[in-house]
Amino acid sequence: MIELIPAIDLIDGKCVRLTKGDYSTTKVYNEDPLEVALEIESYGLKRLHLVDLDGAKSKHVVNHRILQRIASRTSLVIDFGGGIKSDEDLSIAFDNGAQMVTVGSVASQNPALFLKWLEEFGGERMILGADTRDGLISVNGWQEESTQELLPYLGEYIQHGVKNVLCTDIHKDGMLQGPSVALYKEIMAAYPTLHLIASGGVSSLDDICQLDEAGIPAVVFGKALYEGRFTLKELSEFIIHKS
């Protein structure tokens, strides 16, 4: 069964969502991310994708206190991303309760550092963030484009031990128009053992079912939940039905 991973995106310590990664589209959904995390846990979900958007923009971890609050008050398995650019940032994330981290920009711009982290912490704790626009990798909170093509980029890191990839189609993110199922199927066809986490565009439970039927291992979603396109109760029932 597909793994369901709600996302909490953080700006100024608040739970927000953007559209296509554009900070000017910020919409606040809850002043207290811990409240959101506790509700997620209460419905039987086990995972949380916590994104430090302030960190992504400022290029160092900012919202680690929110991470610590959620990690200390829930049993959610948290993967944390945004602003992890240095050994210090990585230590801050793990020391404040992240069980996994999602790293994108460093992997693209400083491969030696990412490979060092991968060797030190292993493929179970390091998630490669592969955010893509028109088949190319985007970095630094999607503010910058690279010239790296998605599939060869993934293949190189899979050879070095990457097991988990969080792939976001930026054109779909926050649009509530459905995920890039064809893109994720293409990735899985190329790398069938990969634990691929689809991200961007989820608008309904039907979208999640479509990804599940396509054999995608996991999905991250946020805006659809916060906009009421489906509820935590419905997600809980989906999990029970599938298991």
Residue reference for tokens 């190189």: 156
Among candidate residues 9, 89, 169, 212, the one labeled active-site is 9
Q: Tell me if residue 173 is catalytic.
A: no
Q: How many Cα atoms within 13 Å fall on the side-chain side of residue 90?
A: 18
- Give the other-Cβ count within 10 Å of 11's Cβ: 22
What is the signed CA dihedral for 136, 140, 143, 148, rounded to 10 degrees?
Answer: -20
Cα separations (Å) of 188 from 103, 127, 166, 198?
20, 16, 13, 11
Q: Tell me if residue 206 is catalytic.
A: no
Query: In sequence order, which residues have a C-beta less than 8 Å from that of residue 82 and are 6 or more positions away?
Result: 10, 51, 52, 53, 54, 55, 56, 61, 63, 141
Among candidate residues 131, 169, 207, 212, the one labeled active-site is 131
Burial of residue 213 (number of CB atoms within 10 Å: 0-12, 13-18, 19+) = exposed
Would you name the residues annotated as active-site residues?
A: 9, 131
